[in-house]
Chains A and B, each alone.
Chain A
Amino acid sequence: MAQFSLPQNSKIEVGNYFKDKTNSKNLRKINVYRWDPSTGKNPRVDTFEVDMDNCGPKVLDILFKIKNEIDPSLTFRRSCAHGVCGSCAMNIDGINGLACIKSHSDTNGDLNIYPLPHLKVVKDLIGDLSTLYKQYESIQPWLKVDQTGQEKTELKQSQKDREKLDGYYECILCACCSTSCPSYWWNGEKYLGPAVLLQAYRWINDSRDGDKKERLKKVADELKLYRCHTIMNCTNSCPKGLNPAKAIGSIKKMLATS
């Protein structure tokens, strides 16, 4: 049975309040989830008053402003800041997304920022994604061909076959979708989750791949695949506008018709 409430050591406490020191008139309260492994205390939510007149347009800009000007201990992942690397995936105002491409003006009132849901927290806004990476490895995300070493011929792909990968190859594995899925919350160890299944479909659907049947067989499992109940939180949260629910649906359909 899934545990719907948070375990005792994960209960969130009220944290510190950082009052504005700039005397700005355009203030916004930013609530940020904090947890420091060195203290041994429960996680807390700190509130920062941020001067929005001197802040960039994205949520990541706010986080940087807090880190640079208010509390340098705030920890989060980021790399490209252009929505390509997927490092800054987090829960912004109740929906997963990338902090670097999410405008803070899209949301009203206080801004709540949490790490991706239902992960073991490493520190502050950083969640541990190692289970997801292991599952990604399990679907063997590389081209498998029957060719031996000697006859290395070019694998050609028609434009039409290439188009079949549109909407799937763009996935940046930010884990926004997988960590938004209630099924993945309750069965994260066994159910592969939308991100990995979308990737699985990307390889199944590749005309150059010679292992389609084996791939389908591997994924056809009560727990690995059929824990998807089309809740569609994944598609709702994907920052790249992809449709993992459709990919999973396509795999199910392939299995039903093959």
Chain B
Amino acid sequence: MQNNNPLSPHLQIYKWHISSLLSITHRVVGVINFFALMVICFWAISLFFGENFYRSFEIVLNTFFGKFLIISLCWTFSFQILNEIRHLVWDAGFGFDLKVAKISGVVTLIGSFILTILFYLVGRNFF
């Protein structure tokens, strides 16, 4: 029997928690990283096509937009790594407590920014 009753609202009304917010971010970031990895592979492959080809890649990456992109990708990878560790701990059966899950979420978020800055500084030969 076809039920034509209306569907009660869901996404439209449900309050966000840190855990649900990080979960959707993890997924979005995962998709972004998938494409980012393809670009990185392509960059590496561009070496085979000679110096000019490789240099033109470098010019694009050295624009303001390119720098923004690279730093953003530093964050997406940092976040993905840290949140994946969180998932790994969950899979081992720990950290399901509501308080612990909240704290680990905040730590992941803050940690991802710290890691981004570290990546940046290491890349700039700061140390």
A-side interface residues toward B, CB under 8 Å? 4, 6-7, 9-10, 12, 33, 35, 37, 42-43, 91, 93-95, 112, 114-122, 127-128, 180, 182, 185, 229-233, 235-236, 243, 245-246, 249-250, 252-253, 256
Contacts and interface: CB of A to CB of B under 8 A. Distances in A.
A236 B98 contact: yes
A236 B24 CA distance: 16
Given A10-B6, A182-B11, 7 more contacts: A9-B4, A232-B20, A233-B14, A236-B98, A245-B101, A249-B90, A249-B91
B3 A118 contact: no
Given A6-B9, A114-B8, A185-B10, A235 B3 contact: no
Given A119-B7, A121-B5, A249 B13 contact: no
10 contacts: A10-B7, A35-B5, A94-B13, A117-B9, A120-B8, A121-B6, A182-B10, A182-B11, A236-B20, A245-B101
A122 B5 CA distance: 7
Contacts of A182: 10-11, 20, 24
Contact of A91 (B4, B13, B27, B93): B13
Given A91-B13, A253-B93, A233 B19 contact: yes
Contact of B5 (A6, A12, A37, A185): A37
Contact of B93 (A94, A116, A118, A250): A250
Given A230-B87, A236-B17, A249-B90, A116 B98 contact: no
B59 interface: no
B15 interface: yes
Given A95-B15, A120-B5, A253-B92, A243 B97 contact: yes
Contacts, number: 109
B42 interface: no
A166 to B, nearest CB: 15
B12 interface: yes
A236 B87 CA distance: 17
Contacts of B91: 249, 252-253, 256
Contact of A249 (B7, B19, B96, B98): B96
A235 B98 contact: yes
A235 B23 contact: no
A125 B92 CA distance: 39
B19 to A, nearest CB: 4
A222 B85 CA distance: 22
Given A93-B15, A114-B13, A249-B96, A231 B20 contact: yes
Contact of B96 (A35, A95, A235): A235
Interface in B75-113: 87, 90-93, 96-98, 101
Contacts of B20: 182, 231-233, 236
B9 A243 contact: no
Interface in B18-60: 19-20, 23-24, 27
Given A245-B96, A253-B91, A117 B13 contact: yes
